[in-house]
Chains A and B, each alone.
Chain A
Amino acid sequence: MSTAVTTPQEASANSLIAGQLPKYTPWATLLVSLGIAAGLLNSVGHFSITAVALSGIALFLVGMFALSSAVEGIRKAKDRLARQMVSLFFLVALIPLISLIAGVAVRGSERLDGKFFSYSMRNIVGEGGGAIHAVYGTLIITGIATLVSVPIGMLSAIFLVEYGRNGRLARSITFFVDVMTGIPSIVAGLFAYTVFSILFGPGTKTGLAGAAALSVLMIPTVVRSTEEMLRLVSNDLRESAYALGVPKWRTVLKVVLPTSIAGIITGMILAIARVIGETAPLLVTAGLTSSLNTNPINGPMTTLPVFVYYSYVTPGIPQEPYYARAWAGALTLILIVMGLNLIGRLVAWRFAPKSR
Chain B
Amino acid sequence: MKFNRLTAVLGLSCALAFSACAANEGGGAAAPSGEGGSSMSGRLQGTGASSQKVVQENWVAEFQTANPDVTITYSPEGSGAGREAFMGGGADFAGSDRAFTADENQPGAFGKCTADSIALDLPVYISPIAVIFNVDGVDSLKLNAETLAGIFKRDITRWDDAKIAALNPDAKLPSANITAVHRSDDSGTTENFTDYLHQVAGNVWDKAAGGEWAYPGGEAAKGTSGVVAAVTNGVNTIGYADASQTKDLKKVEIGEGDTFVGPSEEAAAQVVENSPQVPGRSEHDLALNLDRKAEGYPIVLVSYAIVCQSYKDAATAELVKSYVGYMASEQGQQVAMEKAGAAPLSAMLSEKVKAAIDSVA
A–B contact at 8 Å CB threshold (below)? yes
- Could you tell me which A residues sit within 8 Å of B by CB distance? 115, 118-120, 122-126, 129-130, 132-133, 136, 197, 201-205, 283-284, 287-292, 294, 299-300, 310, 312-317, 319, 343, 346-347, 350
Residues of B within 8 A of A313 (CB): 50, 223-225
Select A203's contact among B5, B21, B88, beta carbons within 8 Å.
B88
Select B24's contact among A129, A288, A315, beta carbons within 8 Å.
A129
Q: Tell me the bound Cα distance from A132 to B23 in angstroms.
A: 9
Pick the 6 closest A-B CB pairs, nearest first.
A203-B90, A120-B22, A314-B53, A202-B89, A118-B23, A289-B73
Select B22's contact among A122, A288, A299, A347, beta carbons within 8 Å.
A122
Q: Are A123 and B64 in contact (CB under 8 A)?
A: yes
A16 CB to nearest B CB, Å: 51
Residues of A within 8 A of B286 (CB): none
Residues of A within 8 A of B85 (CB): 202-203
Q: Are B71 and A202 in contact (CB under 8 A)?
A: no
Q: B220 at interface (Cβ–Cβ under 8 A)?
A: no
A197 CB to nearest B CB, Å: 7
Q: Are B43 and A317 in contact (CB under 8 A)?
A: no
Residues of A within 8 A of B237 (CB): none
Select A133's contact among B17, B22, B88, beta carbons within 8 Å.
B22
Q: Are B54 and A346 in contact (CB under 8 A)?
A: no
Q: Are A203 and B54 in contact (CB under 8 A)?
A: no
Q: Interface size for chain B: under 10, 10 to 19, 20 to 34, or 35 or more residues? A: 35 or more
Q: Are B50 and A300 in contact (CB under 8 A)?
A: no
Q: Are A316 and B54 in contact (CB under 8 A)?
A: yes
A163 CB to nearest B CB, Å: 28
Select B57's contact among A136, A290, A300, beta carbons within 8 Å.
A290
Q: Are B20 and A120 in contact (CB under 8 A)?
A: no
Q: Tell me the bound Cα distance from A311 to B64 in angstroms.
A: 20
CB contact under 8 A between A122 and B25, given known A205-B75, A314-B50: yes
Q: Tell me the bound Cα distance from A197 to B91 in angstroms.
A: 12
Name 11 A/B residue pairs within 8 A (Cβ), A-sorted.
A197-B88, A201-B89, A202-B88, A203-B91, A288-B75, A291-B71, A314-B50, A314-B54, A317-B339, A319-B245, A346-B5
Q: Tell me the bound Cα distance from A202 to B74 in angstroms.
A: 16
Nearest to B58 among chain A residues (CB) is: A125
Residues of A within 8 A of B263 (CB): none
CB contact under 8 A between A203 and B57, given known A133-B22, A197-B88, A287-B73: no
Residues of B within 8 A of A115 (CB): 23
Q: Tell me the bound Cα distance from A120 to B61 in angstroms.
A: 12
Within residues 20 to 55 of chain B, which ones have a CB less than 8 A from any CB in chain A? 20-25, 31, 43, 45, 47, 50, 53-54
